[in-house]
Every structure is written in C-alpha cells, then in structure tokens.
C-alpha cells in the first residue's frame, strides 16, 4: 500500500492538523510501503538553517517513520520550495523532482505539486520562474535569516490577498495544460495537490481514457490517496 498526501500547511498555529498528521504517521503510514508528500507540507520554509523547534519535531517524526521501514518521499510546493537536502537527510526522506513519474498501481503515474499547471495565473507563473531559478535560489538561501523571515511573511500575505481577488479559473489548473503534460510524459494518471479542490476527474489523453486525481488540503479534515490492490482511493478523514 502507498499513501499520498499534500497541502498540510503545517504550522504551530494549527495543532489540530499536526496531531492528525502525527496520528497518520503512527498508524496507517506504518503499514505503507511509501508515503509521498506532494508539496506545501509546511506553511512556510525559509531554509534548513532556520528550522524551528516545531519543525524539528516534525522532522524527527518523519525519521521515525523512515526508520520503521516506510519510504518517505517529499516534493516541493509553492510554500516550502526551500526545503533542502539537510532537512531530507535528517528526516530520512528523499526529495522528489516536480514533476516525477513513479510506478504505482501497476502503471506509470505522474506526480506534481500542481502549481505549474495553473498557467492562466500569469503573475504567479512569472514569480515562480524567478523564485525557482537556480541563481535566485542561491541568493535566497544566503540571505540573513531575519530577511528571509520577513520575505516569507510578505509573500504569504500577498498570496492570500491576490488569491481572494483572482477569478476561480485563474487559480485552478488550466484545462488544456493537463492532457498536454500527461501526453508529454506518456501517462494516463496524474496526481497533484495545490488547488485545495479534491476530486477525481476523468478526461481523454490522445483519445484514451485518463484521470486526474486532486489531493485535498488539510484544514477542516485530512485527505489521503491510498493506492493498493483495489486501486486508487481518495479518502477524507476527520481530525482526532
């Protein structure tokens, strides 16, 4: 069995989400072959050198899961793209490229965070290209810690304000982009998060039936995609 989750936005201000995640690690995830976290695991990440005691605790919990035999794989989101190899090494996790094709359920599956599919959001796509540029990443990682903290707060505040103002179709994936990227990678199943709109969408890719599975965000409840002999099951669950 494989578990996939995304968009937990872990932060000290939401202990209910943290408890639910730790319960998942101590329960279902211990029986999984692998746990995939497809981005926005943390609400914000300013660099591995800026880990708070809260984030260190999460890191240790992931390490315990990894040491128990469950493979942990982590993908960057738009909130935590500065997570680096130091955190992953301490957590016993493998950093996964976005996008990645992984064999699961007897087929190749395309895994993404999902923000790169929102191509109609031109302002965000421009910012994303700038922030993910290797030179920009190097500069960001070498800014003073206090400067990075202020920048993270500013970007989060602007993101919330802009999302409220944008039309629904702009902050969702671009319909034409989905079959294009799936055809490019030769897959019939795409799994992503980011949009906070959990669902399983049916579509055609090169004339063949395909599906796009959207993971839910952890806010009022948790979401996990379970892949086993029965197939792909997108499941909500209540917080403890």
- List alpha helices for the chain, DSSP H: 15-26, 53-67, 85-91, 122-132, 134-142, 145-165, 168-171, 177-185
**Rounded Cα–Cα distance for residues 204 and 183 (Å):** 10
Q: For the segment 123-152, what is each residue's pLDDT rounded down to a tens digit?
A: 888 988 888 888 888 888 888 878 888 877
Query: Would you state the pLDDT for residue 141?
Result: 83
pTM here is 0.91
Any idea how long the chain is? 240
Q: Name which of 63, 10, 33 is nearest 226 in CA terms.
A: 33
Helix (H, G, I), strand (E, B) or coil at 8: coil
Q: What is the pLDDT of residue 124?
A: 85
User: Which of the residues in the chain have pLDDT under 70?
Assistant: 158-171
């Amino acid at each position: 069995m494989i578990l996939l989750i995304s968009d937990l936005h872990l932060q000290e201000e939401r202990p209910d989400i943290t408890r639910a995640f730790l319960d998942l690690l101590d329960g279902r995830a211990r029986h999984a072959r692998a746990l995939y976290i497809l981005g926005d695991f943390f609400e914000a990440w300013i660099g591995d050198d800026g880990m708070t005691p809260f984030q260190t605790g999460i890191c240790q919990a992931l390490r315990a899961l990894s040491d128990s035999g469950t493979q942990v794989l982590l993908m960057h989101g738009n909130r935590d793209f500065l997570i680096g190899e130091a955190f992953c090494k301490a957590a016993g996790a493998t950093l996964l490229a976005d996008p990645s094709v992984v064999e699961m359920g007897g087929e190749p599956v395309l895994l993404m965070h999902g923000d790169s599919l929102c191509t109609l959001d031109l302002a965000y796509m421009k910012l994303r290209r700038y922030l993910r540029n290797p030179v920009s990443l190097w500069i960001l990682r070498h800014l003073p810690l206090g400067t990075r903290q202020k920048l993270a707060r500013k970007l989060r505040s602007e993101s919330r304000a802009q999302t409220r103002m944008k039309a629904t179709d702009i902050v969702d994936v671009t319909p034409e982009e989905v079959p294009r990227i799936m055809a490019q990678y030769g897959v019939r199943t795409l799994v992503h998060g980011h949009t906070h709109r959990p669902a399983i969408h049916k579509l055609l890719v090169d004339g063949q039936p395909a599906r796009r599975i959207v993971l839910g965000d952890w806010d009022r409840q948790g979401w996990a995609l379970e892949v086993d002999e029965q197939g792909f099951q997108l499941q909500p669950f209540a917080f403890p």
